[in-house]
Chain A
Amino acid sequence: MNLDAHLDNSKKGFLIFAAGLVAFVGGLSFYFAGTAGNKIFGAEPVRMDILDSGFAEISGQGRVAGAFSAQTPSGEASSMPVLVYHGIVDKADGVNVTKQQFLEQMKELAAAGWQTVSLDDFGAFARGDKKLPTKSFLLTFDDGRKDSFYGADPVLKLLGFRATMFVITGSSFNDKTTYYLNRNELAFMRDSGRWDLGAHAQVGHDPRPIDGSGNSGNFLSNRIWLEQKNRLETEEEYHNRVATELSGIKTDLKNQLGVVPAAYAFPYGDYGVDSKNVPNDQNFLLAEVAKNYSTAFTQTRSDTYFTQNYPENSAFYLAKRITVEGNWQGKDLLNAVTAGIAKELPWSEDFSNSKDWVPTWGNSVGQNGVQVLSPTASSTGASVYLDGGNKLSKYKFSSLVQLKAGQSFSLLAAYIDDNNYLSCNYSSAGITINEVTDGRKKEVSSWWFKFPQINSEEISAGIELMDGRARCLLNGKVVLTTDRVSEKLIEGSVGFKVWDPQPDKASLIIKKAVIEPISE
């Protein structure tokens, strides 16, 4: 045994002793802190060996060049993206990201100058109480899984990042758990300075039976089937169960860890929108959540529009999250967080990277510097909207397009979602302005004339939006106006649509898109 080896062994021995002491003292403190009716602390200690090896594994790859210097963000963020992960796994499983992917993804963001914020700062930003720098984002994990913590913590440490873990208390505070983070691990996270803890579920994470024939639905958004009583729970029973679940998570985290969670993440992002037997009860659920938490989180869904969160002057905030998919590379994630950044005017698109255009119908493909909208085999059209444009008002949206096939194309403005927007529609029969509010469409203005060149020529088309007025432009000239736009459609993003009565026929080539501010 040489001296170095001896020293090494001494060090190890000391570390083991120190770790044991920490665990012992930690255990004692938990014992005393948690004596209020709780079982004696018996959870496995934090696996420092995994964390250390994780850190050793990635620290060898070096810190991100320039991550914290070359691209220091300047200015204040108008909007903020929130990411949600569920687990971080060793081997790709098609759903979760791997450790290696997660590292790459975070390094990509860090290299581009993005930095994480704490849960409290996000809440203050969302309610309009605090300004934060541009390129700030909130990193979150749902379910309180061990693999997330052990996979992510070394990366957070390496990059100086911070994350939020939404905990299922009924699982985490069950001493037998091997899949979910236990009390020791959550306490370690609480004290690490790298993690915030939030509420995800007490016992309400898994779907429940919602009728006598074996159908199931989400715990919070449905009245559940009471097997023993052979009936659906009453409305009162439903309301009481939801109230107990939501306050129970908070009580658990407070009693077990001394943490009072400010935020709640809806399991499956379902804040009543996926309800099967309590339709239109979103207001009840949100109000019940607001009694206990100041911020709630949902996640990417087919019915959510615009990926980022904008400050609102309200006591309670429902935040959107971008679900990071298992097959995303670092570049994909960077595209996802930058796509929705609030657009500032003038703004133009050359379609070299069309990440900002979100398809809601049909296909949207970028190729050779143009964007092509076309239907799927079964749809009659396609449409896209511009992410990050939701707060735009008083603008002229101009484009250069070619209707390669199909009956008509449209430029969208004041786009809030597929149920609320204005459009200028161009067809060989003329031009119309449509207004869609609450899913109901009507034509507010039209100009019928023969316009056969629509199918053969490049068309310069535009739409102007200003305080309840809209105008359609053709080759730079105003061709149609309306001053009777709904009050709902004062601001919103832009988009394109193409349509034909026959499925799988329409095709619109978009070559240029420019948004300029206009004044009275």
Chain B
Amino acid sequence: MKKWLVRFFSKEGRMTNATIFFLSLLVAVPSGIAQERGKFTVIAWLHQNDWDAGLSSLESHSAQIAEVSPAWYQVQSNGALKNNPNAFVDDSRLLNDVKKNGFLLRPIISNVDASGSHPEWALPVLTNPTLRAALADNIVALVEAKNYAGVDIDIEGLLPKQLPVLADFVEELSAALRSKGKTVAVSLEPTMAQSALVSWKRIGVAADSVRLMLYGEHRASTAPGPSASLWWSRLRLQHILQAVPPEKLTVGVSIVALYWTKGNYRTGTWQRLVRPVQANSGALSRDTDSSAPIVRSGEGQVWFEDRQSLAARITMLKSLGLKKVALWRLGGEDPGIWQALSQEQ
């Protein structure tokens, strides 16, 4: 052992050039690994409203994306599944992209349609053990028949006190899918309720990953603002991190543009809502907290996500040890967001 050590140090105890080289390798290799660990994982949510634009974006940024979750299926109150109306279920273009790029494909199964969330579809199933088992069976059959990697369970509009039945379901479904080599991601709505923590913890243990849909701070019924300011986001993340470990948590980031005009609100893409305004005026201001960009046109204002605001968000996520984001939803987004992500990939 001594002999071995001597080789790398000169008599005087100074390091030889060879030793410096060797040690630099020792330093470089782990730091390389550390960088690898620091890679941000990007999950792409897809929705029929921006389907082809979403696929074009997916194809353009395939090297940056690990997984796709298209909004394809709906839960029905009898435990059956149905295709989301107008969804491009099993679109061969997407299936080809998945095959070509090795994306994980975990479609969304939700209780949401164009009019919003429907707890009345989900609760009769979740609260009835027989129907709950039937729904799990149907999902297993679907995943096996379609050979999906798993599913993204997105049950929205539940009150915190109703979350225990969702946790029951996730535990049962996870066990069933895991036995077939399939996985479950669960998408959750952000809340600051203490009562959510117990169920979240159970979900965090049972599911393979948890996706916090961290947006909706400003919407139709609020004043204009970012979809998720940084302080609002940080609070909610700190809350869920009490229940779900950071390595299991994916942060849902909205890249949808929000447009408020006098007495009117709608959402759209950067491509449709921001680009034309920017081309005309070029005027862009920023929210001081979130760095979110805002463009104004007459009395209207559009809030969206760009390179700078996403970079600020990523810095905040990193400070919490979070390295996975899911983008809601691909298609027509500001191309700058991909540059912000590439800094971390």
* A residues in contact (CB < 8 Å) with B: 427, 429-430, 434, 436, 439-450, 484
Contact stretch, chosen from B59-67, B85-93, B313-321: B85-93
Residue of A nearest to B94 (CB): A442
Known: A441-B90, A446-B83, A446-B89. 19 other contacts (CB 8 A): A429-B141, A429-B142, A429-B145, A430-B141, A430-B142, A436-B92, A440-B91, A440-B93, A441-B91, A442-B88, A442-B90, A444-B83, A445-B82, A446-B81, A446-B82, A448-B81, A448-B138, A448-B142, A449-B80
Identify the closest chain A residue to B93 (Cβ). Answer: A440
Give chain A nearest CB distance to B274 CB in angstroms: 29
7 nearest A-B pairs in the assembled complex, by CB-CB distance: A429-B145, A443-B89, A441-B92, A442-B91, A443-B90, A442-B88, A429-B141
A439 x B92 contact (CB < 8 A): yes
Contact of A427 among B89, B91, B145 (CB under 8 A): B145
Contact status of A484 and B86, CB under 8 A, knowing A448-B80, A449-B80: yes
Interface string of B72-86 (1 = CB under 8 A from A): 000000001111011
Residue of B nearest to A450 (CB): B141
Interface size on B, residues (CB 8 A): 18
| B134 closest partner in A (C-beta) | A449
Which residues on A sit within 8 Å (CB–CB) of B89? 442-444, 446
Q: How far is the CB of B110 from chain A (nearest CB, A)?
A: 15
Q: Is B156 an interface residue (CB 8 A)?
A: no
In the docked arrangement, what's the CA distance between A439 and B96, Å? 12
B144 contacts chain A at the CB level, 8 A cutoff: yes
B92 touches A442 (CB 8 A): yes
How far does the alpha carbon of A434 sit from the alpha carbon of B90 in the complex, in Å? 9
**CB pairs A–B below 8 angstroms (22 shown):** A429-B142, A429-B144, A430-B142, A434-B90, A436-B92, A440-B91, A440-B93, A441-B90, A441-B91, A442-B88, A442-B92, A443-B83, A444-B89, A445-B83, A446-B81, A446-B83, A446-B89, A447-B80, A448-B80, A448-B138, A448-B145, A449-B80
User: Which of B85, B90, B141 lies in contact with A448, CB distance below 8 A?
Assistant: B141
Question: In the assembly, what is the distance between CA of A436 and CA of B90, in Å?
Answer: 11
Minimum CB–CB distance from B47 to chain A (whole Å) comes to: 14
User: Could you give, for residues 172-211 of chain B, a 1 whenever the CB lies within 8 Å of some chain A CB and a 0 otherwise?
Assistant: 0000000000000000000000000000000000000000
Please, how many angstroms separate the alpha-carbon atoms of A442 and B138 in the complex? 20
CB nearest to A433 among chain B residues: B83
Q: Report Cα–Cα, A441/B95, bound state, in Å.
A: 10
CB-CB contacts below 8 Å: B84-123 with A: 85-86, 88-93
In whole angstroms, how far apart are the Cα atoms of A468 and B241 in the complex? 49
Q: Shortest beta-carbon distance, B80 to chain A, in Å?
A: 7
Contacting pair B92 A430 (CB below 8 A):
no
Residue of B nearest to A439 (CB): B92
State the CA gap A441–B81 with chains docked (Å): 20
What chain A residues lie within 8 Å of B83 (beta carbons)?
443-446
CA distance A436 to B93 in the complex (A): 11
Neighbouring B residues of A441 by C-beta, 8 Å? 90-92
A433 to B: closest C-beta gap in Å? 9
Most chain-B Cβ atoms within 10 A of its Cβ — which of A436, A448, A449, A450? A448
- Residues on the B chain within 8 Å of A446, using CB: 81-83, 89
In the assembly, what is the distance between CA of A450 and CA of B92, in Å?
Answer: 25
A411 to B261, CA, bound (A): 50
- How far apart sit A373 and B165, CA to CA, in the bound complex (Å)? 47
Q: Smallest distance from the beta carbon of B81 to chain A beta carbons, Å?
A: 5
Q: Find chain B residues with CB under 8 A from A429 CB.
A: 141-142, 144-145
For residue A444, which residues in chain B have a CB less than 8 angstroms away from its CB?
A: 83, 89
Query: B80 contacts which chain A residues (CB < 8 A)?
Result: 447-449
Cross-chain contact of B92 among A427, A440, A448 (Cβ < 8 A) = A440
- Alpha-carbon distance A366/B137, docked complex (angstroms): 39
Q: Could you say which residues of chain B place their CB within 8 Å of the CB of A443? A: 83, 89-90
What's the Cα separation between A449 and B86 when bound, in Å?
22
Interchain nearest-CB distance for B116 vs A (Å)? 21
Min CB–CB distance B208 → chain A (angstroms) = 22
Interface string of B136-179 (1 = CB under 8 A from A): 01100110110000000000000000000000000000000000
Question: Cα distance A364–B323 when bound, in Å?
Answer: 54
CA distance A430 to B145 in the complex (A): 9
A434 and chain B: residue at smallest CB distance: B90
Chain A nearest CB: distance from B255 CB in Å?
A: 24
Who on chain A is nearest to B139 by CB? A448
